[in-house]
Amino acid sequence: MSPAMVGTAAEASDDESQFQKGVKHLCEKAILRVPGKYILPVHERPGRAYGEDAAMRRKLLSLPLIDFAELRSSLDRPRALRSLATACEQYGFFQLVNHGIPDEVISSMIDASTRFFGQPYEERAKYMSSDMTSPVRYGTSFNQSKDKVFCWRDFLKITCEPMPQVLPHWPSSPTDMRRVVASYAKETKYLFLKIMEAILESLGLPLPAPGRGCVAEDGGIMDRLQEGSQMMVTNFYPPCPEPDLTLGMPPHSDYGFLTLLLQDRVPGLQILHGDNWVTVKPIPGSFVVNVGDHLEIFSNGRYKSVLHRVLVNSTESRISVATLHSLPKECSISPALELIDEGNPRRYMDTDFASFLAYISSCEPKKKNFLESRKLSS
C-alpha cells in the first residue's frame, strides 16, 4: 500500500459505502491522508495547491472585467460590448462587477449554504439521490455513479423552475433556506437575461420580438430564455490533507448558455488559458461568468466554452454557488442562422438537455467530450 493510502482504519479499508456519503462525512473522521478513491493518476494531479508556495500566488489571474453599469449606460455600452465580445472569444470567462444584486442577497446565500453543509449528515442525506432529474439532489464528487476517482467536493443541486412547483421540494432546513434561495434565484435570473441581451448584441444579432417559438435559430431566443432552465449548484470543498493529489472538480465545461458563479474569498477556480492552468483571483461581491456549451453552439463557435477545474487546499474550506442558465429543457439548441455563411459553415448539430443527460448518464464525464460529440465534421 502506498504511503498516501495509509491512515486510519476507516481510510485503509477504502470502504465504498463511506465515500458515497460525501467528502464532508469522510473529513469528520479527522483523516490525515487522502484515501485512494480520491487520488488522481499522476498526470491528472494539480501539483502544489494555492497558498503552498509563492509561485502559485503569482499565478493568480485577473479575468477581463465587465462593468454591468456600463452595459446599462447608452454612452458606455458600445465600449462595454466590445470588451464583452473579446472576453468571450479569448477567455470564455469574465468577472462582472456593479451587477446590482444587493449585498444582503449574496451574503445570505453564502451564509445559508454554509449552514446547510454544517448540518449533521442525517439531515443532508435526506436529499441524496442518484436521479439526475430530481428537483433537489445532494451528492458528492462529480458523478458518483460513474467516477472512477472521486473529487473532493459535496454539492447541493436545486432546480429553480418552475419555482411554484419545485420550491416545496427544496430543503426546509436551515429554516430560511427556501426564502434565501428563491430570492437569489430571482436576482440571478434577471441578471442572466440582461447579460444575454448584451451577448446577442455583441454577436451582431438583433434582439428578437417575443413569442417567436422554441428553437434558438428562429429568432425567439430571449423569449424562451425568459422561460428557460435554471439550475443552482452549491459546492462545498472541505480542507484536504493532501491537496496536490486530488481536485475539487475535474476539468470540465458547463452545458448551458451562461454560468454565474459566486465565489467566496478563498481562491480555487482555475481555467485553461492557452496551455496553462491559471487560478482566478476572487473579487468580493462579484460574479465570475463563463460561456457554456450551448452558447458556443449558438454562436457557431465564436464564443468559447472553456475548460475549468477547482483546486482544494489544506487549511480552509470553500463555498461556491453556481447558477447554470439555458433554454427550457425540451428546447433544441442550434447555431444562429445569422452567424452561418460560406466563410463560417455550420459547425454543430442540434442538441437539447435530454441529449446531455443521456450522455453523462452513460459514461464518466470528461473535459469537453459532450460538446465534442455535437460537432459536425469539417
pLDDT tens per residue, range 151-187? 999 999 999 999 999 999 999 999 999 999 999 999 9
Domain boundaries along the sequence of the chain: 41-364
Other CB atoms within 10 Å distance of the CB of residue 94 = 23
Concatenated DSSP letters for 49-68?
A: PTTSSHHHHHTEE-PPEEEH
Confidence of residue 2 (pLDDT cuts 50, 70, 90): very low
What residue type is assigned to position 177 of the chain? M
State the residue for C-alpha cell 449528515: 121
The lowest-confidence range among 2-16, 82-96, 271-285 is 2-16
268 phi and psi angles, rounded to 5 deg: -175, -35
Which pTM value belongs to this model? 0.89
Q: What is the mean pLDDT of residues 6-17?
A: 46
Confidence of residue 378 (pLDDT cuts 50, 70, 90): low
Of 242, 256, 369, 231, the C-alpha closest to 311 is 242
Confidence of residue 6 (pLDDT cuts 50, 70, 90): very low
Q: Are 335 and 348 in contact (CB under 8 A)?
A: yes
Concatenated DSSP letters for 156-225?
A: EEEE-SSHHHHGGGS---STTHHHHHHHHHHHHHHHHHHHHHHHHHHTTPPPPPS---SSGGGT-HHHHH
> Class of 41-364 per CATH?
mainly beta
Q: Say how far apart CA 206 and CA 73 lie, in whole Å.
A: 18
User: Which residue would you say has higher pLDDT here, 142 or 275?
Assistant: 275
For the stretch 59-81, pLDDT in tens is 688 899 999 999 999 999 999 99
Q: What is the model's pLDDT at position 51?
A: 43
